[in-house]
Structures are given as structure tokens and as C-alpha cells.
Amino acid sequence: MILERLVVGPFAANCYIVGSEITKEGMIIDPGDEARQILKKVNDLQLDIKFMVITHGHVDHIGAIREVKEAAKAKVCVHTDDAPFLQGQRVSNVFGLSYLAPPPADRLIKGGDDINVGDLHFLVLHTPGHTPGGICLLGQGIVFTGDTLFNYGIGRTDLFGGSHARLLSSIHTKLMILPDDTIVYPGHGPETTIGAERRSNPYLRG
Ligand SMILES: [Zn+2]
Ligand SMILES: [Zn+2]
């Protein structure tokens, strides 16, 4: 499997480019900013991008969708409950950031859906709490957790639609049931494992 991380934008969001070494098909998870850099990496990897999968609708994860889509023609996949984040004016202004608002989703996804990229298979886990339609993407011994679970942290829940109780429930019922050696690629910061977070994440105690 091809897996590359780019750290993009003023909030240092992780954008992941995932691809099949066999079919050279790929997907982009959270094209948050710096479209040109993302497209250059896709080109270097010679991937045919099929999907852009959005872990949740916050601006730091969606800001480059429009530009990347114009070049790569990939389908934008977002959970039904976060789809409203993708609808707005063409230029939005959030947290003082001006960015091209993304086009509406091509595919509304929900928990239990499959996303297949060549020979790679991923399962959508609905993990509300940070936002109502937050998802994680599980496959190949890896889970992409967006802003739900971080290395030694969890997502904030004071933004619109957030719920601390729902977030903890999502983490415990959807993520902490995974094997210890599952690698966690979060929406910000370095990777970790489910086992390491189970043992030492201070927000998951008690
Ligand atoms: Zn977020
Ligand atoms: Zn974020």
C-alpha cells in the first residue's frame, strides 16, 4: 500500500494520500489546504485518485477540495450528517480564513459503508462527537481517525455540533474494540496505535 502524509494549512492538518501499488488507484483523505502540493504528490506517485474522503467537515480538512477536484476529478465522500458543512458560498470565511468553498458531496456515506480503492478495502466507522458526521476509516490494519482520536489526545467538543459524551462513546465503542496493533493516523499530529492510546491516553481513563 502507498501511504503518504502531507501536513497542510495554518492548523497543520494531516492530509493522507493512500493508493494501491497494484492498480495505482488512490484516495485522498482530508484535502484541507495546499492543493498544489497535494496534486504534486499525487502526480509524483502516479496515482489515479478515485475518492476524496472527508473525515469531518471542518475547514482545516476541506479547504482544498474544490481545487483538487478540478484537477483530479475524484468523488467527494462525506458523512450525511456533515454534508451541510460543504454547502455555502463559493468563498467562505471561517476563523478569519478565506477559502474556496467545496462543491457538494458526490457520495453521502454512513457507518458500515465500504470504500474500495483497487485492492484496498476500507470500512466507514461513524464516530460522532467532534462533529455530528465525523467518521474514521478502517482497513489494512490502519485506522484514520480525523479529529476523533489523536496521539495522546481526543478531539475538542466545544465547536458547533460537538458533544463530549458522544465523542467518548464513539471512541470506546468503535475504536477501543480494535486490536492493539492497529495503527492510528489522526487528523493532526503523529501516528500512534490503538494499544498505546488504550494504555496511556489521559482522556480515556475512568
Ligand atoms: Zn475538526
Ligand atoms: Zn482538524
- From 57, 42, 133, 118, select the one nearest 88 (Cα to Cα): 57
Taking the centre of ligand 1 as the mean of its atom positions, its distance from the CA of residue 53, in whole angstroms, is 14
Distance 134 CA to ligand 1 centre (A): 9
CA of 175 to the centre of ligand 2 (A): 18
Residue (of 126, 31, 123, 145) closest to 81 by Cα position: 126
Beta bridge partners of 135: 126
Ligand of minimum distance to the alpha carbon of 14: 2
21 CA distance to ligand 1 middle (Å): 30
Give distance in angstroms: CA of 188 to centre of ligand 1: 9
CB-CB contact of 131 with 56 (8 Å):
yes
Distance 133 CA to ligand 1 centre (A): 11
Q: What is the pLDDT of residues 80-131, one digit of tens each?
A: 999 988 875 455 555 555 667 788 899 999 999 999 999 999 999 999 999 9
Q: How far is the CA of 145 from the centre of ligand 1 (A)?
A: 11
Residues bordering ligand 2, an ion, CB closer than 5 Å: 60, 147, 187
Give the global pTM: 0.95
pLDDT tens, position by position, 164-180: 999 999 999 999 999 99
The pLDDT score that the predictor gives to residue 206 is 60
Cell representation of residue 183: 495503527
d(CA 34, CA 182): 29
